[in-house]
Amino acid sequence: MLHSPTDLAHRRTRPVHWVATASALAAVIAGAGLLQPDRATGATPAAGAPSAPKATAPDAHAATYPLDCKGAPHTVTDTAQGDLDGDGRPETVAAVRCDAGSGTPPHAIYVLAQDRQEGSAPRVVATLLDATRRRTATDLTVRDGLVTARLLGYSAPSVPRSSPDVTQLAKWRWAAGKFRQELTDSAAGSV
């Protein structure tokens, strides 16, 4: 059955039809933009729980150290940070020595932690290297819970304190409630 041109007159599009279609389409797009879901983060927050601020490592310069400097001040020469005990909070490892003004005083290496309450001071929780061992610590790092430091020392009392001739790579890891140390072989004359 064929239709005459007059039968199709009601099927002609007019500008008002295009305006109505464009307005409807714009409303659908705007509505979809307003009703989008939240971005995925990969974490499932607890119901009503605010997100906790990220813990910061203790400030090595704000700690009090058990280092006897005979009245001289102490100086922090190197630090490294990381979560050493797996509690989700970073600790700071600090290489500290007396500030004697001349010479090369031996280092001590300390682990610092900080209580959760705001404004608490950092505190020494472990001594990895005691100054009585008469070593100089360099290249202090924390990686994957492992503390490493290069320890410089002396093969004999006659070796000048300004020229260490022995080097060791020391490693410490938290295990079974305390730090366990591993030393590599000493190498005399390899500094």
Residue 25 lies in a domain: no
Per-residue pLDDT tens for 167-182?
A: 999 999 999 889 999 7
Does a structural domain hold residue 110? Answer: yes
pLDDT in tens, 102-147: 777 899 999 999 988 877 899 999 999 999 999 999 999 999 999 9
| Residue 79 counted as domain residue | yes
Q: What's the domain count of the chain?
A: 1
Per-residue pLDDT band for 151 (boundaries 50, 70, 90) equals very high
Asked if 164 and 136 touch (Cβ cutoff 8 Å), the reply is: yes
Domain encompassing residue 94? 60-188
Q: Let me know if residue 179 belongs to a domain.
A: yes
- CA distances, 32 to each of 23, 27, 53, 176 (Å): 14, 9, 33, 55
> Region 44-53: what's the mean pLDDT?
54
Establish if 8 belongs to a structural domain. Answer: no
For residue 80, the cross-strand partners are 93
For residue 170, which amino acid is it?
A
**Mean pLDDT value across residues 141-167:** 91
- What tokens does 62 get? 């704000």
Q: What angle do CA 176, 181, 183 make, to 5 degrees?
A: 150
Give, in order, the Cα–Cα distances in Å from 78 to each of 10, 140, 146: 86, 7, 16
153 in a domain, yes or no? yes
Q: Which residue has the tokens 């704000």?
A: 62
Beta bridge partners of 186: none
- Is 116 part of any domain? yes
* Nearest in space to 97 (alpha carbons), one of 119, 118, 68: 68
Contact between residue 94 and residue 77 where contact means Cβ atoms under 8 Å apart: no
Q: Looking at the domain assignment, is residue 53 inside a domain?
A: no
pTM for the structure as a whole: 0.68
